Amino acid sequence: MRYVKLPKENTHAFLERLKEWGRLYAPVKISEKFYDFREIDDVRKVEFNYNRTIMPPKKFFFLPREKLFEFNLAKAEYKEVIEDVEPFVLFGVHACDIFGLKVLDTVYLDELPDKYYKVRREKGIIIGISCMPDDYCFCNLRETDFADDGFDLFLHELPDGWLVRVGTPTGHRIVDKNIKLFEEVTTEDICNFREFENRRSKAFKYHEDWSNLRYLLELEMEHPMWEEQADICLACGNCNTTCPTCRCYEVQDIVNLDGNTGYRERRWDSCQFRSHGLVAGNHNFRPTKKDRFRNRYLCKNSYNEKLGVSYCVGCGRCTYFCPAGISFVRNLRTIMGLEERSCPPELSEEIPKRGFAYASEVRGEDL
Amino acid sequence: MENGKVRIGFYALTSCYGCQLQFAMMDEILQLLPHAEIVCWYMIERNSYEEEPVDIAFIEGSVSTEEEVELVKKIRENAKIVVAVGSCAVHGGVQSWEKDKPLEELWKTVYGDGKVKFEPKMAEPVSKYIKVDYNIYGCPPEKKDFLYAIGTFLVGSWPEDIDYPVCLECRLNGYPCVLIEKGEPCLGPITRAGCDARCPNYGIACIGCRGAIGYDVAWFDSLARVFKEKGLTKEEILERMKIFNAHNPKLEEMVEKIFQEVKE
């Protein structure tokens, strides 16, 4: 791998130069407490030490709302609407979010590529940035705290600048075209990089082994935690929409008032919504709030065999942006026996019914 | 359908007429006219016939007089599809907010000793009197709600109901969360989406004008718990949640549950 140094005083000049590669998006403060990736006009507004953006980088590749195709019923024709995507630069992506995109790639690029995702992914330049964890971060436990690939450049904070790892040929070209902005990495820089990394790994709240988690979750489908926490849940779907790896969508056909032409649109969906599990005949795979609540925990903690990590990358958004104050980490730690009241005190006489085959009664509702 | 044209009627009960105005102002209506016959719609057609059969009947407003009870029954008899339009028709509207007070008291507050020619009733949703086939929500509804419903009916299909909260659209648009950040009693989590989170876009907490989500997935209890933790009293919570949901059969019981928890 190639390493260069970007001195602090050149940071803004570098950001300015990035605009030559396409529209520049970076984290900015959007309100009193929240950050988000927005298009950058004035590079001085870029936040280098943000905790997390409310919306994950997936929004640039898998659009929140998107027209898929237009149709004409009389002619029995449809035409895919795939935008001509201009190259763009996404600056300031944390390691967890880079893993988030890698997870999405395993779903939307491998085997049956999603055209709409692919065209944007090919045009997006990713520039990673190092970070210091806060109390909500647990990427260390997910082994997504350090990105080996998935970026064109990765900037690691130094006291007087950035140690830059170059990840792709595009990354090389960006450095080469702006070589005057960069310096060679010195021994002191390496020491500083090492010191930062050590300080960072100690800053995580939890240092423990979560490797049995996904199995315990399956075994503890009837743990009282589910009932208690699902009762608090608002089912607003914030946990899904702010998640860097949630990728479910809903489609809808919109017919124009000529009764002939129209288009199909997709938008992000949430497994916390009733209609997510609703199928023909008014049957619902997940008829209760508890079923839906539990589903996200199981989905996020399942094993992505292509990457060898879980679908949750430990960014902390689902907890940070939960209006009901539900802690994903605390609930997982309850299941793993790392919190108080982990094991229910009373043993039931009934043979526990575990797994999807025993889903609660399917509820028929008036439509 | 006659001559391949869909026969449409738009009827108004007690309301501000804002819903039909929203519909009437849509440029897309011009696209619709070759395929539809407006049988009854006083706002745009002087020659309207309230008692003619129609394919789709849109009803705006709450049932608030005895005369309106008779009118909606007649509309039902004459229509293949009945669509309740707007918060008044769907949920009884803001005029139902104080529905627990005696009608005479409310009447006196508004009209004093004034005489009217009709027989007043407590404001109620249309579905209380007749079967409603589809709802278009909002105060007023969004133009796209009309487009979607009518477009789908025109091709002989059935439009989907909305069963998810405003929060989804608030996130899709990338707005900051008013409830988390400002601690304001935003009703987004229990309110039907479709408005594209219009109010949170301006940093204003949702007051629930599209009404609570149906299918028993409006979690009044969980949201009341969040509001309570933010310091709101039971009365304040109920007052706010009832603005557009006074007729919701679950609301009070679910909020009550949260305040029972404390006493234990």
Residue B19 is predicted with a pLDDT of 95
Q: In chain A, what residues touch B188 (CB-CB under 8 Å)?
A: 236
pLDDT surpasses 90 at A343: no
pTM here is: 0.92
CB-nearest to B164 from A54, A231, A273 is: A273
pLDDT of residue A349: 57
Q: So what's the pLDDT on residue A362?
A: 47
Based on the fold, state whether residues B55 and B131 are members of the same structural domain: yes
Distance from CA of A236 to the nearest CA of B (A): 5
> Mean per-residue pLDDT for A250-278?
96
pLDDT of residue B258: 95
Q: Give alpha helix (H) positions in chain B.
A: 18-24, 29-32, 66-78, 86-91, 103-111, 143-154, 166-172, 178-181, 198-201, 220-229, 234-242, 251-263
B203 and B250 part of one domain: yes
Average pLDDT over residues A219-230: 94
Q: What tens digit of pLDDT does each residue of B75-128 get?
A: 999 999 999 999 999 999 999 998 889 998 988 888 888 888 888 899 999 999
**A38 — pLDDT class (breaks 50, 70, 90):** very high
Residue in B with minimal Cα distance to A271: B164
Q: Residue B90 belongs to what domain range?
A: 6-154
- Shared domain check, B199 and B115: no
Domain assignment of residue B1, yes or no:
no
Same domain, B26 and B146: yes
pLDDT at A224 over 90: yes
Which among A82, A32, A93, A34 is positioned nearest to A59, based on CA atoms? A93
Is any Cβ of chain A less than 8 angstroms from the Cβ of B254? no
Confidence category of residue B261, pLDDT binned at 50, 70, 90: confident
Is B120 in the same domain as B190? no
Residues B88 and B201 in one domain: no
Is the pLDDT at B2 greater than 60? The verdict is no
Distance from CA of A54 to the nearest CA of B (A): 7
pLDDT of residue A367: 42
- Over residues A61-78, the pLDDT tens digits come to 999 999 999 999 999 999
Task: Check CB contact of B181 with chain A, cutoff 8 Å.
Answer: yes
The pLDDT, as a whole number, for residue A354 is 55
- Percent residues over pLDDT 70 in chain B: 98
CA distance A103 to A112: 15
Confidence of residue B263 (pLDDT cuts 50, 70, 90): low
Do the domain assignments include residue B109?
A: yes
User: Nearest-CA distance from A229 to chain B in Å?
Assistant: 10
Q: Which residues contact A181 (CB under 8 A, 6 or more apart)?
A: A6, A7, A10, A13, A14, A17
Averaged pLDDT of chain B: 94
Strands A2-7 and A161-166: antiparallel
Do B136 and B220 lie in one domain? The reply is no
Q: Do B148 and B193 reside in the same domain of the chain?
A: no
Residues B23 and B121 in one domain: yes
Q: Quick one: B201 and B254 in the same domain?
A: yes
pLDDT above 90 coverage of chain A, percent: 91
Place of tokens 């010195």: A186
Q: Largest Cα–Cα distance in chain A?
A: 74
Average pLDDT over residues B230-240: 97
Give the relative orientation of helices A224-232 and A289-300 as an angle to the nearest 10 degrees: 110
In a domain, B220, yes or no: yes
Residue in this structure with the two tokens 């969906």, named with its chain if needed: A269
Beta bridge partners of B12: B60
d(CA B59, CA B62): 9
Q: What is the mean pLDDT of chain A?
A: 93
Least confident interval from A70-74, A178-182, A342-346, B59-63: A342-346
**Going by DSSP bridges, is the β-strand pair A23-29/A161-166 parallel, antiparallel, or unpaired?**
unpaired
Domain edge (last residue) among B154, B183, B198 = B154
pLDDT score for A35? 98
Based on the domain organization, do B193 and B72 belong to the same domain? no
pLDDT bucket at A9, cuts 50 / 70 / 90: very high
* Structure tokens, B88: 């008044």
Q: Are B73 and B24 contained in the same domain?
A: yes
Mean pLDDT of B253-264: 84
Can you give the CATH number for the domain in which B37 is found? 3.40.50.700
Pick from B173, B174, B226: CB nearest A323: B226
Task: Report CB contact under 8 Å: A256, B29.
Answer: no
Q: Examine residue B230 and state whether it is found in any structural domain, yes or no.
A: yes
Model pLDDT, residue B3: 65
Which residue in chain A has the smallest CA separation from B227?
A: A324
Residues in contact with A180: Cβ distance below 8 Å, sequence separation at least 6, in sequence order: none
The count of domains in chain B is 2
Residue carrying the six token digits 């016959």: B37
Q: What is the spatial distance between Cα B146 and Cα B40, in angstroms, rounded to a whole number?
A: 17
- Residue that terminates a domain, selected from B154, B182, B204: B154
* Per-residue confidence (pLDDT) for residue A2, from 0 to 100: 96
**Rounded distance, CA B178 to CA B171, Å?**
11
What is the pLDDT averaged over residues B59-73? 96
Question: Are B154 and A275 in contact (CB < 8 Å)?
Answer: no
Contact B176 A30 (CB under 8 A): yes
Identify the pLDDT of residue B114.
83
Q: A360 pLDDT exceeds 60?
A: no
- Look at residue A346 in the predicted model and tell me its pLDDT: 56
Looking at the domain assignment, is residue B98 inside a domain?
A: yes
**In which band, very low, low, confident or very high, does the pLDDT at A363 lie, cut at 50, 70 and 90?**
very low
Which of B130, B154, B178 is a domain's end point?
B154
- Say if B70 falls within a structural domain: yes
